[in-house]
């Protein structure tokens, strides 16, 4: 079975906002996530993006190049 990268979902979390839990985050596409994360980072906020296993290395590299921390969504 092949993985469809269109199924990749990203969750943009702000570290400075303790009221935002990963369970409260809305899953978005890569383009939405990178735009939001870059906007928040540019305004000086600490950002962490969670991603599903369908994410590609290229997508993760774009976050890294922008200085945005990423982690695989915890399973379970």
Per residue in 50-72, pLDDT (tens digit) is 999 999 999 999 999 999 999 99
Strand order in the sheet with 10-14: 10-14, 47-51, 69-72
Considering all CA atoms of the chain, what is the largest pairwise distance in Å, rounded to the nearest integer? Answer: 41
pLDDT of residue 16: 56
Give the DSSP H/E element, type plus range, for residue 65. helix 57-65
Task: Place 33 in a pLDDT band, splitting at 50, 70 and 90.
Answer: very high
């Amino acid at each position: 079975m092949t993985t469809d990268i269109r199924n990749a979902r990203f969750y943009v979390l702000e570290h400075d906002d303790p009221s935002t839990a990963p369970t409260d985050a809305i899953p978005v596409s890569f383009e939405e996530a990178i735009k939001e994360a870059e906007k928040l980072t540019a305004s000086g906020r600490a950002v962490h993006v969670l991603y599903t296993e369908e994410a590609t290395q290229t997508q993760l590299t774009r976050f890294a190049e922008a200085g945005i921390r990423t982690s695989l969504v915890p399973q379970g």
